[in-house]
Amino acid sequence: MLDDFFTRALVAGVGLALVTGPLGCFVVWRRMAYFGDTMAHSALLGVALAFMLSLNMTLGVFAVAALVAGALIVLQRQATLSTDALLGILSHSTLAVGLVLVGFLTTIRIDLMGFLFGDILAVSVSDIAVIYAGGAAILAVLILGWRPLLASTVSPELAEAEGLRPEAARIVLMILMASVIAIAMKLVGVLLITSLLIIPAATARRLSATPEMMAVIAAILGVVAVVGGLYGSLTWDTASGPSIVVMAFIVFALSLLVPVGYFFGRKARHG
């Protein structure tokens, strides 16, 4: 079954969507979209360092994304600049440094457009194994830590009063985002990863009554975006990664035609 490149792309994309949907809910609830962009932009620096040091690319991207998250936490504690300013500095600096380092790799042929916008049609069986193994681990952490993660998202003060350690929950979410970016980079590229995290979750927010329902609907909508985007790419010969994001946006635009609370009555307060 996995001998066909399009089937491999579908299997890989569905596996990724099942992870980015629930995790994207926390990105939306915590208003971490710009943080997601920052970590995604740092992925290119991880790629360059992986090539320079002969490291596994996925591990290189994860390491750099995790270091950027750690740097943000340290800089935030100094309280000398606002969070959005720090994110802007880290985002553009890591992307620029990554591009400069790529320029020094004259002996290695790097598909820069592939890393920026992804090439899900080139996914291999080993890539699928990484996606599903990593995705299963991420989902397991989300499920096991759902209560403290959700409580610290709704009210960090209340979560701390209950002994749930909201700062630890924040660090866990950052690590999970670094992990998703590392496994998703090859599929949708560093410039489109955040879109797959945010758009299905934002759409699900309008159609769900509880946080748990929102996570499930976000995963389903992510799968719809992947399948619809890939078949659209096959039909009209368009770039696969951007086609997936366009499909996700179309679903979001259609959801705007549905009144909030149409399916479940009064809108639930979940972020």
CA dihedral 22, 24, 30, 35 (to 10 degrees): 150
Instruction: For residue 25, give both structure tokens.
Output: 């809910």
Query: In the prediction, which pLDDT does 269 show?
Result: 47
Confidence of residue 159 (pLDDT cuts 50, 70, 90): confident
Arithmetic mean of pLDDT over the chain: 89
229 pLDDT exceeds 60?
Answer: yes
State how far the Cα of 181 lies from the Cα of 46, in Å rounded to an integer: 11
211 pLDDT exceeds 60?
Answer: yes
Which residues in 70-123 belong to E strands, given as ranges? none
Which percentage of the chain shows pLDDT scores above 90?
A: 59
**Of 203, 192, 166, 183, which is closest to residue 245 (Cα–Cα)?**
192
State how far the Cα of 47 lies from the Cα of 53, in Å rounded to an integer: 10
State how far the Cα of 83 lies from the Cα of 179, in Å rounded to an integer: 22
Confidence of residue 110 (pLDDT cuts 50, 70, 90): confident
Confidence of residue 261 (pLDDT cuts 50, 70, 90): low
Instruction: For residue 37, give both structure tokens.
Output: 């962009």
> DSSP letters along 1-64, please?
-TTSHHHHHHHHHHHHHHHHHHHHHHHHHTT-HHHHHHHHHHHHHHHHHHHHHT--HHHHHHHH
Task: Kindly state the average pLDDT of the residues 13-25.
Answer: 96
Task: Kindly state the average pLDDT of the residues 122-137.
Answer: 93
State the first-to-last Cα distance of the chain, in angstroms, to the nearest integer: 41
Query: In the prediction, which pLDDT does 3 show?
Result: 65
Task: Kindly state the average pLDDT of the residues 130-152.
Answer: 94
76 pLDDT exceeds 60?
Answer: yes
Task: Could you please state the CATH topology (level 3) that the domain comprising 5-255 is classified under.
Answer: ABC transporter involved in vitamin B12 uptake, BtuC (1.10.3470)
* Packed helices 33-53 and 57-78: angle between N→C axes, nearest 10 degrees: 130
State how far the Cα of 71 lies from the Cα of 68, in Å rounded to an integer: 5
CA dihedral 221, 196, 187, 180 (to 10 degrees): -110
Global confidence as pTM: 0.91
**Of 173, 181, 167, 152, which is closest to residue 47 (Cα–Cα)?**
181
Instruction: For residue 178, give both structure tokens.
Output: 């670094």
